[in-house]
Structure 1
Amino acid sequence: MKREYTVIIEQDEAGFYVAEVPELYGCHTQAKSLDELMERVREAIELCREEDKGKRPRKHLIGIQRIAV
């Protein structure tokens, strides 16, 4: 069964795109292009789903906020 996941994408100082899936503990990957990143994040999600089955409660992303301090 297909399920939708939130993917947070950032770019590091070296130009790599970095993706994190907050709903799956430790699920992240990186790539040089966005197309490659999306392929890799799909693979990472599949692996993390198998690893995580029944081990941890899934998180539900509420939102992302910025704050100035």
Structure 2
Amino acid sequence: AWGGAAVTVKLGSGTLAIAIEDPEHVGRGVAAVTVDGRPVDDGVIAAPAAGATRHVRVRLGRRHASAASI
């Protein structure tokens, strides 16, 4: 089983640096999402500003009430 993955996506003239973590090796579900260290509760990740990078962290696992739907 894999423990995670990372991908960098160019979006317009900005960048999304996405890290997917699966510390419990469940392989499904979204336990938590953060963007630039802040929790995302509504599943919406705004595009980065021109020249900026937004850091997205997705932790797989059992969903909690505050986890985003993706």
TM-score by length of 2: 0.31
Higher helix proportion (structure 1 or 2) = 1
Q: Which protein has the larger Cα radius of gyration, Structure 1 or Structure 2?
A: 1
Structure with the bigger RCO (C-alpha within 8 Å, sep 6+) is: 2
Higher strand proportion (structure 1 or 2) = 2
